[in-house]
Structure 1
């Protein structure tokens, strides 16, 4: 439309200029040029200066210019060459439309003098436009029962070019059902028509795609096309058909509900309601499958509805039907096979084939304890199971066949360490990730008699007071056995041994069930101080095992002996002791000395003397510790010539034991050497006195050596510890005392001025305790000694030998005591 309006404007302007130049006398004749359209800018149209007879300088001096009657300046003048050149693109169709002739008038104006030239430029058509259809696509609907020969008019094409370049003919793509006919109208216009050449079959070809082509006469030929779609209308004469008769799909068993598994697709060659398909499971589909799967009736998509379990069903088969909505209804079928992929969702399981049996603790390595089987409901690697035991387990797993195992012992067992085992077996599959489970098997270890009874300690020390009641319990020895049952039942017995050449069974007996040891009779410390018992504990296993323990029985002294007077000898025999004393005796004169011994030991044997009665108590005194009888004052003429003294002798025991001695003293005039007579009497040889003298010499020698050693050790000890000189002690360490609690030597020194009394005590766990004393005789002021026999019924030689053998230097503890009269030795 725009091109046509511009074409009219141009014609009006051309007419106006025609009348204007007709009146201008200076207008010269016209020049005509012919050029094709679409020339490039700068293309030469013609040599304007030459054609107008102008020189190049004239064109410049006279100011030549060109004006276009079309209103647009399509041309210009190259003043340097005098040529008319194209100034802009020229489209003939835009300027002249479908007109057969297209001329563009130009005015060339020259001043000084003013002159006007008319120039025409003919624009020749070139084939630059192809034929075009207003609609690129046309749709036709033809029923498949339409008769052959039917005609359907088609759209004509338009070509803007003219002449030989304009539209010339039509063509149709090849189709066996259709052909093209050209119908000419009265105005010379040609209309294409589509002609049906063959009966249509929608099911064979429901749509025909045709291409209508319009051709012009240019060189080269240009074309335009229009797509023609012929839709064949349907009748319900076809059954829905699935693309595949069998669909195979795989899905992991762990898939979640709602997952789309597959899409079945059926086609119906019919159309409309005849081709609308609904999908469904076949009528005979089991309910269990309907609970697992569902199908979209419109799309054929199959979804997972329930939960898959490979272990229950590894494969599912679904029959699917597709029905159209035509009349009559047509139906097609297919089958869907769902293969479930196993995942490792089942933990392995351990099954006991046989219950574990008790195992003796001495069972050899490799003894079968139990049989078991490993299984896994999964398949492939997910179902491959391996069994394992904790590290360090005394058992092993021995594979046999097809996931069967034997639980066997891997080493020797010890019931006393572990009486039973809770064996944790781990089953692990080979899946990814792997799953595992555990099972605990209880295995009992039965006992064998491999442990003897064991006493709480290898030896026991028992302290028993003498004079106890026969039948009283001494001690309860107890042994334990780590075994079990009969193997742990212990019976006790005493091994036969000798005590003072008498069988120990005559002293004690033992309860075989509980190990309690009882005395057979009362013990006398003065006869037996220590003895030992070998106790045996034996179990009731087969063979039986036993062990021994030593019980050391120490008899503790009781104060059951009264002091016995051994001097004067007549007093010891029960008769009255007669002593003579000169009347010239001064104060402090030693009249006599009463000596007594106590068979007991320790404090029970500490003796003191007291003047109980006297004819004249003011004349005599008795030393509390030595028993010496001395005058308190000088004898006077008024004193009776016969004096009688009753001296009481007491020990330090509880209760106190005592005895008395009566001494008769005769005061004589002219008696000058009573002491010499006494010495002579004491020196009278006798068998008993000679033996006592020997004992005295031996004991004093021993005591002297021990006393010297004791004094030296105590002196060093006292200096180191800066302790008082009254009491010094040197002992072993606590650990030594603990190891040897009863091995000691005690030297006790009683002093009343010079040493008058020495007591040596020695003891050992394995030897009898001994004590012996040395006392100064009444004639000590003349260096006479009287030996007191050891406080034991044992011969003194035996005392010395036992003391010497059982008390080595390395185990002795020495004590030195100086006790004042106030402390009472």
Structure 2
């Protein structure tokens, strides 16, 4: 037991003077003071009697029991008690320093008789003295830790720490040292710091992966009688790539049937690697062998197996086996362990090709054939060929899969594979047919192969060109010669080889059209041009122009299209048409009457040489220099043959194509005026287009070798017609008006 120090309390009184009822009382000021030493009490006291703590004593205490000691503060009266006469303090309970290290109390001495304090209250401390009653503890255990395999000896693994609840400032109760109870000789621990280290060089995970190490912590500096605690440290060696892959065998054999599909997996192979994780990852490669171009190999990342696949079809009849050299190599290398390599291995794989009864094999993966659209039923289109690839070489039978309507347009010879037409084709309706031909072995009909066959229908020039649309062409009355009034185009249902190039022309079998002409533009278009000027709608408002269109056919027959280009002037009202028809009827009646009277007189065309002037037509035209030719129709002064070609009747409306009445010029040149008139009269009588009554026929013909010369008005300076119509008698003025109306003479001008 430690020696206790007593507290001595000394009180000094100072004299004081007090006046009481006239008496003078003298009091002295006391001198007081505490003599302190710290009180200590041992923790965990288990004795039968209270533990003595210490003693309080005042200098004013004479030992007569007049002084009373009072104790207050933490634990006073419960844990700590005091003898109020002697001042002895005792502890009545067992104390735990780890729960409370000290207590603060207050002491006071009073006069027992007067209950007056002899000294002021004073504070003191009772400290709980530590004993080694707590063992060291590992608060974070058990521990789980890893360390790479093949680490150097002395590699730090983990630092453990134990705590002791005892007082570290008093004695060795809290002084801890570490030791290893389990885990030697693989690991060690530093006694002071608790650092665990590897104790062997190049520990191999593949030999042993897990270790359980027990560490002890003991207080009292490890002396006998000290308390101790322990913890477990679970240590796992992590993997490094220190093992190369190895094939279990140096030779393998694999059976693959020749019917295996290209791209399918046909086998697996695996090299073992003692490492784990990424250190065991590997890649398989075919490094050589005669099957390197037929097979390929890939790596399954999950199972780390090599998957052998087929790149090309197998054929047992051509090659019955292949040899492959396969390498398996790690993909992640640790250069610290490169001296343990090489980290790869090689094995040989022999592939045996199995014989399988295969379906017929076509010589081509697909066929394309051609046939003309005008081909007759039964015309050969082409042929497909298939053979049995097996050694038996069985006969092959062909047939068409009639799954669609297109398949019914063809038939096939079951023995030869010749495809023929079964219907008539129309390229413009269906230019292409797709059918499927099947082939099967006669010995094994269940083995069937299919091949697609495309049949292109070739074009035949069987469609004539047509106008691109219906043209409604309008020509103005004041049009000039050579003016383009419409451009026409054509279409052809045939393809470009048989109809893309069009040629436009006028029908050569018809006489020269004096009103319009056609120009081929050499670009699949044609232009319609005027041939004269001053069209008169009152004279004729509709013209028909037959156009011949031909395409560039390649079948030896030029396809043509007779198209009538319809030309019309602007439309007339019903009233205007009725007025025009009424005028025409009146004029025709006048003409008929005139002809009847003239035939009654039977006067010759030329009475005498003196009356030749009566047949000369004069023109009231002054001439206009270069524009002189535009003052009248110059065609009236041409030779008889030219005039005949361009002169059409103007008293009837053409409703059908005009017939050519052209005759060779030689016949005209050999006749005189009388014969000419007789010929024209006969033609007029036989012309079916002439109305069934007499009509006026006018001719611009002057005959040949006449001594009178030309009747052209180019040299005439007359401004008024000199023609005398008095010989007609009373009909002279009417005939003159009729001649003016038909343009034979120019109306008189009034000045």
TM-score (norm 1): 0.31
More strand by share: 1
TM-score (norm 2): 0.34
